[in-house]
Amino acid sequence: LQEESIEDMDAFISVTGNSETNIMSCLVAKSKGVKKTIALVENMDYFQLSQSIGIDTLINKKLLAANNIFRYIRKGEIVAMTKLNNMNAELLEFEVTPTSFVCNKIIRELKFPRSAIIGGVIRNGIGLIALGDFKILSGDRIVVCCLPQSIKKVETLFI
């Protein structure tokens, strides 16, 4: 890492076939001043530990595959989803298309489930807070926090 002038780098990615090597490499990079570290961690036992010791982003091929399969079987234009640790809730990110039910609608006018809330909107790369009078437009990316029982209802709004 010293031969590569690691101290001058903004980011470091370690994707060897060994979780321990990836974790240790990222920790060394952090100690040399690298701001952003990404590690491939196949061993799920290390996943929680890696987050708690300061590795910024973890990649796990099994979780990525499962997430892609889950997104495929879901309706709507889900572009990302994650389960919130220690909570019975999920974060979903939808991309609004011109044919989405929510397109050109005011949030207050939608019959949004009580167990779901719009956490924010990304429009043209800018994060926005979406309150009741906010108009949803085509191309918006909407982040929704919801309980499992409301996922299907929320999905129908974005079809």
Whether the predicted pLDDT of 41 surpasses 90: no
Please, which pLDDT band fits residue 117 given cuts at 50, 70 and 90? Answer: very high
Whether the predicted pLDDT of 32 surpasses 70: yes
CATH (residue range 74-157): 3.30.70.1450
CATH (residue range 6-60): 3.40.50.720
Percent of the chain residues past pLDDT 70, beyond the cut? 84
Q: How many CA atoms lie within 13 A of 50 on its CB side?
A: 26
Kindly state the tokens that stand for 57: 């982003």
Q: Where are the domains of the chain?
A: 6-60, 74-157
Contacts for 154 with CB less than 8 Å, ≥ 6 apart: 76, 92, 112, 113, 116, 144, 146
pLDDT digits (tens, 9 = 90+) for 65-101: 766 665 565 555 566 666 666 677 888 888 899 999 9
Whether the predicted pLDDT of 136 surpasses 90: yes
